[in-house]
Amino acid sequence: MPTTPPPTPPTARALRAARAALALALPFALLASPACGDGGGKGPSSGAIPTIEISEGGRPVLRGGTVIASTGALEPGDTGVVAELRVINTGNAVLEIASVEIDASPPGTLSLAAADGSALPAPPYLIDPNASGGPNRSSLTLGLVLHRPPEGVRPTGTITVHSNTVIEGVEVESFVFAIDVEEGRPVMQVTPAQADMGNVSQGRTGDLPLSIVNQGTLPLVIDRFTLSGHPALGVTLGDDTWDVSAETVAGVTLPTPLTIAGGTTAIATLHFSPTTPEAASGTLTLFSNDPTLPGGKAVPISANVGGPCLEIAPSRVDFGGKLVGTSATVELTLTSCGDKPLSISEIGLAAGGSDEYTLALETLPGLDGGGAVTELTTDDAPVVLAPNATAKLRVVYVPADVSPLDAGGQPVRDTATLHLVSNSFYAERDLDVRGFGTDTPCPTAVIRVDEGEEVIPQTTLHLKGNGSVAQGGGTIAEWLWEVEQPDGSVSLLLPAATAANPTFEANVAGTYLFRLVVTDSSGLASCVPAEETVQVIPDEELHIELLWETPKDEDLTDTKGSDLDLHFTDPRADTGHDVDGDGADDAFFDEVFDCFYFHKTPNWGGADASPTLDRDDTDGAGPENINLHTPENGKTYTLGVHYFDDHDMDAAFAEVRVYIHGQLAWSDAGVELAQADMWTVGTLTWPAETLTPATVCAGTFTTCATSADCGGAACERRIAPAYRPPNFPVP
């Protein structure tokens, strides 16, 4: 058995040249404790005992365990130190090490040297826990030297330390542990493994650093990445920054690869700059030379999941006309609508507004200690509302004079701006305050929308006009509503436009403007109408609308009209029928993988990954809506429109709108369809989030982008006439 020092130790020059590899060695630690098969012992002869402890990479080594070292950057034939072993004495008597032996396989591939790379002095080695100079030492450091064999040969070995150590009251003559040398490689770890960007307010950018650690011994090289998900997400790698785009979804090759030495860290920074409050998600995937991550290292990203929220009702303050010299009050309700406490740090009237308005804040929590409070500043303690809690403040208006009339004969308003600052997504909120002075006691129309000023499609709005106020103790006798709605929306105020509190179904995404004029019991109408705006914004990642016009349908609100149907297919859709005659089986009208009127809630592999047809219109102008909460990455969906039944009304003109993350991403309108026509609208690829229209050369199934692809013939929408699948009866 070879002993230490080895018969032919490496030269000091060779050891010094390779010591850089030592910093790349993987740290392993194994705690010293009794183990079987490494020597017997007898009890100590006195109360003073020596106790050996061995560590590698700063961690203890276990008797009978294994120290795993790495070849690091050493090439076959090279020699270098790949680990340092430190021996100390944790007892209270001198530790005498009689010998240190190493047995290597293949022979000669492992040896031991002194810490400075020179040959070890001859044993014994005396380690004194109280050493302060003299012949004894306080510790012994050994360098594990690798004489690297040819590629594919993995060196192993055993180190035996003979000493007078006493462990748990027993003298142990030999301390034995194994050595295993693995191939050097890069090892990538990213912290945090899941990136939570927290809550970021509108107009601000949240940054989250990612620590990319190379836990291996060879340099880690990151040369490519993908970034998908919410468009407000971005990443900085090196000196360059990218926002989510079709390019980042497909994959970006770094202009300068990011190289991280073993045992060191680099930083990538995620960015989030939201414009809307909905929760955001995405994925950053880093591709490198780490052999264990051929598919890259994926880091899920989330942001604005929950958080504080402020709802203010009404959303603006309109006093209407008030008698000069009299005081009028409008009460506002502040609601903490999130899942975290809402902190309001500022409330006040912005400079430059009419001085005929004041605030009364003494009803707010923390400000109700007595006395009038007209503003909240950063010098004051914030008003804090727990989730779902409410508080009230008042705006007071005392018009000083009769407001003049503008060129249109309408009174010029006294205006002001109510300014609030909070920790909600909309950190700064400004509410319009207006009114006008009059010497005529006209009533004031007031609108309240129970569902708020921002809702999702197909929300039934409950409009309240019963809060309108008559002057001089009178009552409101009549209400008259009107609405401006987005193109394609034909909803009605129910039960009538003269109801005090009608309902309205907001089916189409867009902006709705409601107006109300009231008349009091004396027959006096409100001087000006009240107005309230409601935004209808889809909250699913994918929202599709179909609307249409039929010239021969003179009344879109009755129960007779044309019937168009929206279709949305999974890539697995296959009916086994070739109705359009293009030589391939069709996807439309598949009974499992087509979402349409027959199969409104298909199961494509989980609720979030399955679409729903939330509105099927059979007798009018639409809309029909399909929603998909979480489209699946790597899938290409197909979108279509079928003219199921014209009910003798002939041609219809279809419009399709595609919303992604609540924003209108694509639309096509005025598409003329006849009875039984099948319009293949296009394909939607995820996560690229792009819709590619389906266009063909006229009279063929040859795809095209422009007429140049058709040799001068027209490049037009793909519409198959007389599309009547055998598995579904079509008139």
pLDDT digits (tens, 9 = 90+) for 363-394: 999 987 678 999 999 999 999 999 999 999 99
Q: What is the pLDDT of residue 558?
A: 67
Q: Which band of pLDDT confidence, cut at 50, 70 and 90, is reported for residue 37? A: very low
CATH node for 310-439: 2.60.40.10
Q: Pairing state of beta strands 530-536 and 542-549? A: unpaired
What gap in Å lies between CA 63 and CA 16, rounded to an integer? 30
Of the candidates 714, 690, 702, 696, which has an alpha carbon nearest to the alpha carbon of residue 639?
690
In the predicted structure, residue 687 carries a pLDDT above the cut 80: no
Total length of the chain: 731
542-720 matches 468-537 in CATH topology: no
CA distance 243 to 222: 18
Query: For residue 192, what pLDDT is reported?
Result: 97
Work out the number of other CB atoms within 10 angstroms of the CB of residue 267.
12
Looking at per-residue confidence, does 678 or 83 come out higher? 678
Residues 330-354 have pLDDT tens digits of 999 999 999 999 999 999 999 999 9
Q: Tell me the pLDDT tens digit for each residue of 603-648.
A: 998 778 899 998 887 666 678 999 999 898 889 999 999 999 999 9
Q: Each residue of 2-23: pLDDT tens digit?
A: 344 443 444 333 333 333 333 3
Q: pLDDT value at position 553?
A: 85
So what's the pLDDT on residue 440?
84
Domain at 12-182, CATH homologous superfamily: Immunoglobulins (2.60.40.10)
Q: Domain 468-537: what homologous superfamily?
A: Immunoglobulins (2.60.40.10)
pLDDT recorded at residue 135: 59
pTM: 0.62
3-state class of 580 per DSSP?
Answer: coil
Q: What is the CATH number of domain 188-303?
A: 2.60.40.10
Residue 681 pLDDT level (bands cut at 50, 70, 90)? very high
Q: What percent of the chain has pLDDT over 70?
A: 92
Both tokens of 101, joined, read 């032996």
Q: Please give the Cα distance from 247 to 40 (Å, whole number).
A: 67
Measure the CA–CA gap between 71 and 77, rounded to whole angstroms: 11
Distance CA 457, CA 537 (A): 7
Neighbours of 324 (CB within 10 A): 15
Q: What is the SS3 string spanning 509-561?
A: CEEEEEEEEEEECCCCECCCCEEEEEEECCCCCEEEEEEEECCCCCCCCCCCC
Rounded average pLDDT over 430-450: 92
Mean pLDDT score of the chain: 89
pLDDT tens per residue, range 79-135:
989 889 999 999 999 999 999 999 999 999 999 998 777 888 899 999 998 876 555
pLDDT band of residue 45 (cuts 50, 70, 90) is very low
Yes or no: domain 542-720 corresponds to CATH 2.60.60? yes
DSSP element (H, E) containing 246: helix 246-250
pLDDT at residue 41 greater than cutoff 60: no
C-beta atoms surrounding 151 within 10 Å: 9
Q: Residue 528 above 50 pLDDT? A: yes
- Asked if pLDDT for residue 685 goes beyond 50, the answer is yes
What lies within 8 Å, CB to CB, of 495 at 6+ separation is 502
| pLDDT score of 554 more than 70 | yes
pLDDT of residue 31: 29
H or E element that contains 196: strand 195-196
Confidence (pLDDT) at 33: 34
Among 586, 562, 608, 617, smallest CA distance to 680 is for: 586
Distance, in Å, from the CA atom of 87 to the CA atom of 177, rounded to the nearest integer, reads 13
**In Å, what is the CA distance from 430 to each residue of 345, 399, 473?**
14, 22, 32
Helix, strand, coil percent content, the chain, rounded in steps of 5 = 5, 45, 50
Predicted pLDDT at 134: 56
Is residue 683 scored above 60 in pLDDT? yes
Half-sphere exposure of 55 (CA within 13 A, CB side): 9
| Per-residue model confidence as pLDDT tens digits over 133-160 | 555 678 899 999 999 999 889 999 999 9
pLDDT at residue 435, rounded to an integer: 94
CB neighbours of residue 670 within 10 Å: 8
Half-sphere exposure of 58 (CA within 13 A, CB side): 5
User: pLDDT value at position 459?
Assistant: 94
CA distances from residue 513 to 24, 272, 408, 507, 531 in whole angstroms, order as listed:
67, 32, 21, 14, 7
Residue 86 pairs in a beta bridge with 55, 141
Instruction: Write down the pLDDT at residue 633.
Output: 81
The answer to whether the CB of 101 falls within 8 A of the CB of 159 is yes
Instruction: Report pLDDT for 38.
Output: 42
Least confident of 52-56, 326-330, 369-373, 581-585: 369-373
Tokens of 676: 């039984």
pLDDT > 90 fraction of the chain, expressed in percent and rounded: 71
pLDDT at site 36: 36
Beta bridge pairs of residue 168: none
**Rounded-to-integer distance, Cα 723 and Cα 491, Å:** 31
For residue 119, the 8-state DSSP code is: P
Distance CA 557, CA 124 (A): 103
For the stretch 267-288, pLDDT in tens is 999 999 998 888 999 999 999 9
- Tens digit of pLDDT for each residue in 476-506? 999 999 999 998 888 999 999 999 999 999 9
Going from N- to C-terminal start, the domains of the chain cover: 12-182, 188-303, 310-439, 468-537, 542-720
